[in-house]
Amino acid sequence: MRTFISEFITNYGMEILYAIITAIAGYIGFVVKNLYQKYVDDATKKAVVKTCVQAVEQIYTDLHGQDKYNKVVESVSEMLTEKGITITDIELKMLIEAAVGEFNKVFENSNEATIE
């Protein structure tokens, strides 16, 4: 029995070791890919929302409040769907609010600079 195990390890040990190392490397690659994809998707979501907020502010000057918000939601949803990125309603709302806050802050700062 002992010689059988010893002989098995001698004959197939390296192949087994290669298979284990390949499996570990594959798993690490999968994890890294998922982390990278999450980072890229988050950055893309922020960029798309920011662009849509600015575009709606410039294009739809006759719309206000909820109507503007609905246009942004429609635009963002369409663009992200086209890119194959999913977004939850709460995430979309938070990103829009952040982009609007940033947009308003920049607008206020530029008005203060021209007034002085």
**Token digits of residue 99:** 């982009």
pLDDT tens track for 2-59: 777 778 878 888 888 899 999 999 999 999 998 888 877 788 888 888 888 888 888 8
CA distance 36 to 41: 9
Q: What is the dihedral of CA 30, 34, 37, 39, to 10 degrees?
A: -130
Could you give the angle at which helices 89-115 and 2-59 cross, rounded to 10 degrees?
A: 50
pTM value? 0.62
Domain limits, the chain: 2-115
